[in-house]
Amino acid sequence: MDIRQFLDSTYLKTPAQAGLTKAENATVVQGFVQEAIDEAFKLIMIRPDMVKMAKEMITAQRSKVTIGTVIDFPKGNGTLEAKLKEAEKAIADGADDLDFVIDYEAFQRGETDLVKKQVLEATKLGLSHHKIVKWIVEVAALNDHQIVQLSALIKNVVVSNFKEDQYSSVFVKSSTGFYPTEEGKPNGATVASVMLMLENSCPLSVKAAGGVRTYEEALKMITLGVKRIGTSSAKAIVSGEAAKNDY
């Protein structure tokens, strides 16, 4: 098994979050893109404003690394129109995967029709351009029952509106990695949350994001059944080194 093909190497910090200037942060992103090319990771996951630069680097080096970006990140509470506009720009810039943050707060308020419409229309946009679409549910903001319900909601929208051969292009993803938690509680994927997602999103695939920092942790997630792992520690995972990053 080539674990590299499960890894979405991730860098999603803004310059302010990283304590860097815009130019310095862009240099960090370039480093992550180059590392993904050198290590032959499945994908490099970056902010939308960095997609065009990454596409140029990958094309110039004739690499097979794909490019993912986040949409309506990290809160997911933008309008459907805003989600679609951001996704259209990312597609034009060269993104292969679109990781939408679902409006989990609207879901928690009981606005399920709004959430279903967003899932339907944004998924339709992505699939019509032959992109991979992932829905970030933000497990740290949800209780177990809500994880079950939201995973099933996404699954039901996809199964009811798209063809079976398209199911493999839609994922349910655990986390943004930016949700603030208290008392050291995890804000990313856990075994318990991932198992709930796997049980209730099938036949869609699951991406475990956040909190996977070692080869052993990655292998455990793959053994459970996840198809992708989002991590800023991709090189540490494949080399068996200690992770230096916090996602």
Per-residue confidence at 243, pLDDT binned at 50, 70, 90? low
The reply to whether 31 falls in a domain is yes
**Active-site residue (options: 134, 155, 207, 235):** 207
Per-residue confidence at 2, pLDDT binned at 50, 70, 90? confident
The domain of 197 spans 3-239
The reply to whether 194 falls in a domain is yes
Digit-coded pLDDT (tens) for 142-197: 999 999 999 999 999 999 999 999 999 999 999 999 999 888 788 899 999 999 99
**Active-site residue (options: 96, 99, 134, 155):** 99
d(CA 132, CA 125): 10
d(CA 191, CA 187): 12
The reply to whether 246 falls in a domain is no
Please answer whether residues 178 and 74 qualify as being in contact, where contact means their C-beta atoms are separated by less than 8 angstroms: yes
Q: Is the pLDDT of residue 52 over 90?
A: yes
d(CA 193, CA 35): 30
Please answer whether residues 33 and 61 qualify as being in contact, where contact means their C-beta atoms are separated by less than 8 angstroms: no
**Active-site residue (options: 13, 83, 155, 173):** 173
d(CA 193, CA 210): 12
Please answer whether residues 90 and 48 qualify as being in contact, where contact means their C-beta atoms are separated by less than 8 angstroms: yes
Please answer whether residues 233 and 242 qualify as being in contact, where contact means their C-beta atoms are separated by less than 8 angstroms: no
Bridge-partner residues for 46, per DSSP?
11, 69
The reply to whether 247 falls in a domain is no
Work out how many domains the chain is built from and give that number: 1
The reply to whether 52 falls in a domain is yes
The reply to whether 245 falls in a domain is no
Mean pLDDT value across residues 16-37: 97
Q: Token pair of 137, please?
A: 């549910």
Residue 132 in 3-state DSSP? strand
Please answer whether residues 158 and 204 qualify as being in contact, where contact means their C-beta atoms are separated by less than 8 angstroms: yes
User: The whole model's pTM is what?
Assistant: 0.96
Residue 101 in 3-state DSSP? strand
- Domain of 139, CATH number, reads 3.20.20.70
Q: Token pair of 38, please?
A: 């050198």
The reply to whether 67 falls in a domain is yes
pLDDT for 242 equals 62
Spatial neighbors of 25 by CB under 8 A, at least 6 apart, are 13, 14, 15, 18
Residue 173 falls in the annotated catalytic set: yes
